[in-house]
């Protein structure tokens, strides 16, 4: 077989189904490896036998299809970098000399690749997303955002209830961004990829999460864009990336303001369904209608937050939107709904479909 040249190197094409290996007689144990279609990826491979006579293979790096005559002599070829024909031969000679001295080439470069992979994992999308939710604070309150769990879920990270993200590891949802982008370096994630993900969320669903609404949803896209914008802004401030790719992306339009309210007939249906359900779901739904407070405020109600006759409800700042304590006079009908014992674990339940009345499922 003739010696490979820069011209003949371009003549070898990928096979439809089989991988090809072409021996280069200009370098010791050097082969040109071409993967089958559709990838057709080309790389340099070194084949040799170790001290025990076992056949070994070491991938040197991808083929550099640039001008071989312009190879940079000041930068010596290294394993893993794109290599021209000349660079591949130089590197093959160096490695075979190391082997002749008794060095374990496979073990040395396998450990090097594992270390590089570990470093990439540490600065990958998933690891930095976990660090973000463990350390990010709202400047105004120096606390984690109220809806940090929902935001984490949009990226595919789920912590157990009451778990501290700074001390526990989350579950990664299959097919989510934390799964797809995983150990990928954040600086490699482009603006166009983020735009595609937001567009898919608008048209179909957020990756890894099922879509309750099969129609086009601007609100769904807006939520994902918001959390990605905050996350990449944090990465830019922490100098993990040079610039925020979401800064040039137009945020999805805000949904139209709604003036829909329940009429008297719907209120009777709602209260009847709540009464039929009983404690704790029905009671919580009844209080939501009577008090008009937010879901997380009502579902987290505890006996210690009420005075003796339950005529005053003291909502702590940890559950209020503005992080300030809120005092709410409890209506008489609300006092009758509140049971003698209010369990703090009621938040672990969920209201049934019967009392949802065209709104998202209450997460108690």
* 214-263 per-position pLDDT tens digit: 888 888 999 999 999 999 999 998 888 888 999 888 888 777 777 778 88
Q: Is residue 361 part of a domain?
A: no
* Count of CA atoms in the C-beta half-sphere (13 A) of 100: 7
Q: Is the pLDDT of residue 60 over 50?
A: yes
Q: What is the CATH number of the domain that holds 85?
A: 3.30.160.390
Share above pLDDT 70 across residues of the chain, in percent, rounded to a whole number: 84
Residue 297's domain spans which residues?
Answer: 264-355
Q: Is residue 316 part of a domain?
A: yes
Q: Is residue 136 part of a domain?
A: yes
- Judgement on whether residues 88 and 11 belong to the same structural domain of the protein: yes
| CA distances in angstroms from 158 to 150, 195, 346, listed in the order given | 9, 24, 20
Q: Is residue 110 part of a domain?
A: no
| Domain end marker among 75, 104, 133 | 104
- Judgement on whether residues 133 and 214 belong to the same structural domain of the protein: yes
Q: Is 86 exposed, middle or buried (0-12, 13-18, 19+ CB in 10 A)?
A: middle
User: Cis ω on the peptide bond leading into residue 280 (within 30° of 0)?
Assistant: yes
CA separation for the pair 157, 130 (Å, rounded)? 8
Quote the tokens at residue 265: 């007939």
- Judgement on whether residues 154 and 227 belong to the same structural domain of the protein: yes
Q: Is residue 1 part of a domain?
A: no
- Judgement on whether residues 16 and 81 belong to the same structural domain of the protein: yes
* 104-161 per-position pLDDT tens digit: 777 777 665 555 555 555 668 999 999 999 887 766 666 777 788 889 999 999 998 7
Q: Is residue 182 part of a domain?
A: yes
Number of domains comprising the chain: 3
- Judgement on whether residues 130 and 231 belong to the same structural domain of the protein: yes
- Judgement on whether residues 130 and 227 belong to the same structural domain of the protein: yes
CA separation for the pair 196, 177 (Å, rounded)? 12
Q: Is residue 280 part of a domain?
A: yes
Is the full-model pTM beyond 0.85?
no
Q: Is residue 170 part of a domain?
A: yes
């Amino acid at each position: 077989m003739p010696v490979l040249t820069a011209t003949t190197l371009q003549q070898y094409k990928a096979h439809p189904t089989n991988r090809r290996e072409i021996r280069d007689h200009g370098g010791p144990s050097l082969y040109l490896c071409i993967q089958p279609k559709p990838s057709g990826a080309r790389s340099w491979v070194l084949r040799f036998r170790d001290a025990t006579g076992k056949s070994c293979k070491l991938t040197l790096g991808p083929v550099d299809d640039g001008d071989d005559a312009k190879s940079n002599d000041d930068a010596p070829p290294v394993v893993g970098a794109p290599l021209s024909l000349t660079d591949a031969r130089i590197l093959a000679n160096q490695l075979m000399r190391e082997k002749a001295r008794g060095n374990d080439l496979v073990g040395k470069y396998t450990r090097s690749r594992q270390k590089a992979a570990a470093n990439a994992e540490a600065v990958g999308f998933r690891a930095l997303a976990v660090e973000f939710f463990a350390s990010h604070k709202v400047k105004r309150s120096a606390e984690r955002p109220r809806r940090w769990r929902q935001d984490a879920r949009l990226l595919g990270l789920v912590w157990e209830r009451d778990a501290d993200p700074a001390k526990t590891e989350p579950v990664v949802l299959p097919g989510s961004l934390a799964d797809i982008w995983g150990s990928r370096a954040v600086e490699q994630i482009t603006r166009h990829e983020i735009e595609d993900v937001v567009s898919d969320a608008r048209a179909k669903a957020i990756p890894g999460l099922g879509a309750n609404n099969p129609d086009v949803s601007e609100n769904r896209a807006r939520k994902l864009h918001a959390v990605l914008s905050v996350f990449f802004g944090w990465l830019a401030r922490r100098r993990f990336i040079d610039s925020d790719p979401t800064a040039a992306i137009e945020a999805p339009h805000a949904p139209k303001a709604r003036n829909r309210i329940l009429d008297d007939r719907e209120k009777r249906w709602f209260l009847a369904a709540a009464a039929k359900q009983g404690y704790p779901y029905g009671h919580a739904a009844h209080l939501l209608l009577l008090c008009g407070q937010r879901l997380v405020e009502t579902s987290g109600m505890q006996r210690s937050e009420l005075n003796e006759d339950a005529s005053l409800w003291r909502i702590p700042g940890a559950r209020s939107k503005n992080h300030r304590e809120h005092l709410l006079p409890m209506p008489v009908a609300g006092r009758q709904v509140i049971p003698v014992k209010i369990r703090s674990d009621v938040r672990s339940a969920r209201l049934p479909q019967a009392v949802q009345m065209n709104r998202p499922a209450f997460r108690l």
